[in-house]
Amino acid sequence: MKKKTKKNKKKDIWSLKRISKLKRTDGLTMKTVNEYTMNAVVDCTASRNGKRVALRTYGDDESLITYAQMKSMKDSIAVTLLEAGFVHGDKIALLGESCPTWIVAYFGITSIGCVAVPILPDFSSKETCSILEHCGAKGIVVNVKNFEKVIPFIENEPSFLVRMEDLFHIPDPISSNLEDKEQF
């Protein structure tokens, strides 16, 4: 294995500095990822490439979600949470299988400064309730399949509870003849 020398290390740093100053084709300066939140990246991408595909589901109910749709759904969730009284720093548990709904719910929660607490759907009801108690969740976003796991927690701790499926409607299944093949 080759040992890194100071000369190589300086070259690596120079490369990063050089890359961060490169001009993009749209005239903006590239910045490091650390300078943006993920929500800002979604918003920026939606404004520039709203018609491009952000999320895709496969299987029997195959569908596409564009960046513009994702931003709209994320903002809708954020408004719902703000109207329910959530404030910056509140913890909201997110329980469900990995799917576009889960991803958009995560962005909606974090966009208002709340802390998303992901809980694996493989956990038992006892484990799930233990995590909910320990993290101090003030709200829970859960899918139908895992709803029964949170019932014991809700009986003891009144919380804001919403089913993922009620947050928004996933766009209709894709057609076989898409107009803009560049989306992919």
Which residues form the domain of 151? 75-167
133 lies in some domain: yes
The pLDDT score that the predictor gives to residue 7 is 52
Residue 125 lies in a domain: yes
> Using CA atoms, how far apart are residues 14 and 11, in angstroms rounded to an integer?
5
List all residues 6 or more positions away from 145 whose beta carbon is below 8 Å from its beta carbon. Answer: 96, 97, 121
- Residue 31 is assigned to a structural domain of this protein: no
Domain-located, residue 52: no
Whether the predicted pLDDT of 94 surpasses 90: yes
Cut 0.85: pTM above it: no
- 152 or 13, higher pLDDT: 152
Does residue 145 lie in a domain region? yes
Q: How far apart are CA 164 and CA 141, in angstroms?
A: 6
Question: Cα 41 from chain centroid?
Answer: 11
Q: Is 1 a member of any domain?
A: no
Strands 63-66 and 53-57: antiparallel
Beta bridge partners, 129, equal none
| Any domain includes 147 | yes
Q: Report residue 88: phi and psi, to 5°.
A: -50, 130
pLDDT, one tens digit per residue, over 131-157 is: 999 999 999 999 889 988 988 888 877
CA-to-CA dists, residue 32 to 8, 17, 18, 41, angstroms: 21, 10, 12, 12
Q: How many domains does the chain have?
A: 1
Residue 160, beta-bridge partner list: 139
CATH assignment at residue 109: 3.40.50.980
Helix axes 100-111, 67-83, angle to 10 degrees: 50
pLDDT at 13: 45
